[in-house]
Amino acid sequence: MASGSIQWAPPKPLHLEGNVSENFRKFEEHWTLFEKTEPKGKSEEEKCSYFLLCIGEKAREVHKTLAFSTPETSTNTEGATVWKRTTQELKTAFKAYCNPRKNLTFERHKLNTRNQDENETIDQYVTALRTLAATCEFESLHDGLIRDRIVCGIKAQTLKERMLRENDLTLQKAIDICRAAETSRDQLKSLCGGEKKNNIDTLGRDRRNRYTHEASHQKSNNQQQRGKACGNCGRSHAPKTCPAYGKPCNHCHKL
């Protein structure tokens, strides 16, 4: 159905298992966006055919059982068959079939027990809550209940206390408070990480310099000792027992 140089992907077939209401909502959302990419001038018969093609084999079996207020086709005065059904009627019929299968209590339970996951940012958490709330039919209470879930489900205890101190806390204000805390935490982590690295580098340099200095000093002492001639044998050797006489050298007898 898509034409031109860019081929937009059609929606995947409708899944009739699990949360069927949510599955159809996603299908319909994708279909609406996909339909807008199509060139104008398509007939309703072509659109309906492609809708049923995209919705999948199992959903087409369901389509055969759905009731419609208008027939699919009719015959005009000239005896020709005229297509009557629209894609909007198809979507309405499928929505009526899928929505009764939604358990509203369970949908709200999923939202009310959704806590922030480990390493999940506030924006990711809010997106997850909005997605869950879309099937809860909160209507005018939508933002307030998401705000309450943020206060109860956020992991940081200090943020809970901070938001509870606000008398006029709105959803946006709660999100802003959490975002500001995340930004400050990231900046502090960056600063502390840099200071720690500098301290480690400095300590490493000090240790390397001390080791180099001690090694150089020891080498100098050894060379100096080896440079002295033995009073017994006349050879240069370490300040130990003279190999020639088996007794301490004159210059190192004190060892």
Cβ atoms of residues 87 and 54 within 8 Å: no
pLDDT given at position 102: 73
Cβ atoms of residues 147 and 111 within 8 Å: no
Residue 174 burial (C-beta neighbours within 10 Å; 0-12, 13-18, 19+)? buried
Radius of gyration of the chain (CA): 40
pLDDT given at position 99: 82
Identify any residues that bridge with 73 across adjacent strands, giving them in sequence order.
83
pLDDT given at position 253: 47
Tens digit of each residue's pLDDT (9 = 90 or more) over 231-245: 566 666 555 556 555
Q: Which residues of the chain have pLDDT under 70?
A: 1-7, 101, 194-255
Q: How many CB atoms lie within 10 A of CB 51?
A: 23
231 vs 34: CA distance, rounded Å: 102
Which fold would CATH assign to domain 104-189? 1.10.1200
pLDDT given at position 21: 85
Burial 23-41 (b: 16+ CB within 10 A, else e): bbbebbebbeebbeebeee
- Domain regions of the chain by residue span: 20-101, 104-189
pLDDT given at position 214: 63
Tens digit of each residue's pLDDT (9 = 90 or more) over 105-137: 998 999 999 999 999 999 999 999 999 998 888
pLDDT given at position 248: 60
Selection from 178, 188, 69, 204 nearest residue 124 by Cα: 178
Identify any residues that bridge with 248 across adjacent strands, giving them in sequence order.
241
Entry pTM: 0.51
pLDDT given at position 254: 42
Q: How many CB atoms lie within 10 A of CB 47?
A: 20
